[in-house]
Structure formats: C-alpha cells, structure tokens
Amino acid sequence: MRRSRKEESVETCHISGCDEAGERSMPRKKVKDALEKKMEGEGKRTQLCKTHYREYKKATKVERKLEQLRR
C-alpha cells in the first residue's frame, strides 16, 4: 500500500513543550516575532500544530489586514 507524502513526514509542533502533530509549516522568523515563545528545531521554516497556528493567526490579524489594505 502506498503512503501519501503527508503520512510519511509527520512532524511534531516546534513550540517547546508541545507534542501535538504539526499541521502547518510557517516561516520561523514570523512565528517567533508573533508568538514570542521558545521554539525547537532549526531551519527557515517551523511546524505548528492546530492550536499554535490559531494563536499565530490571532496575533498577526492586524498585520494581515493592513497588508491586505495596502494592495
């Protein structure tokens, strides 16, 4: 049976102390600036679970709205 790419590369959330499965991959610098939490791992991108992705979206809501109005 073939596995999908998503099943093969299940990573955990890169926020310290979180053991949930990572669902979204986001730029590390933007996440670090928005959430101000300790992060594990290295590289340009970081994995976020559903809960931390929601926190990120709420923290960047104003920025995203302003960016949308600039266009």
Question: 36 lies in a domain?
Answer: yes
**33 and 46 in contact (C-beta within 8 Å)?**
no
pLDDT grade for 41, boundaries at 50, 70 and 90: confident
* pLDDT score, position 37: 87
**Structural domains counted in the chain:** 1
Does residue 52 surpass a pLDDT of 80?
yes
Question: 2 lies in a domain?
Answer: no
> Could you list the residue range(s) of the whole structural domain that residue 11 is in?
7-70
Does residue 7 surpass a pLDDT of 80?
no
